[in-house]
Amino acid sequence: MGRIKCRYKVRSALVGFIPGEDPQERHSRRFAFNMAHLETIQEWRDLRGVTLNLSCNQHHWNFRRGDRRADWRPSSANLVIGRRVQHAIHVHDYRSVLKILGRVFPYA
């Protein structure tokens, strides 16, 4: 399938861009930051009644509730809502992801 071309981008104040940083190191830094906040994400998940499955060595996060679905890859910052790959959102940190997903998964 190749790379996902993101249509929208959300800048991150938490894990921002560092000019000259090696892309692999940047992806690792962003992944580690988000993994460090996994407990916060799980609390959000429990409040919303959402299922969260981590796969591909925790690099693919799948959020589900009923027939609604969202997939996020923290290291590459791709958020796909409802399998609409052509409308992927480029989002780097968990807070921004949870803000967006709050509209997808309102309180049950």
Number of H helices and E strands in the chain, helices first, is 3, 6
Residues comprising the chain, all counted = 108
| pTM, full prediction | 0.85
Confidence of residue 1 (pLDDT cuts 50, 70, 90): very low
Tell me the per-residue pLDDT of 44-88, one tens digit each, with 9 for 90 and over.
999 999 999 999 999 999 999 999 999 999 988 899 999 888 889
Residue 5 has pLDDT above 60, yes or no: no
Give the residue from 48, 52, 66, 67 showing the smallest Cα distance to 106. 48
Residue 95 has pLDDT above 50, yes or no: yes
Q: What structural domains does the chain harbor? A: 8-12+21-104 (3.30.457)
Q: What is the mean pLDDT of the chain?
A: 88
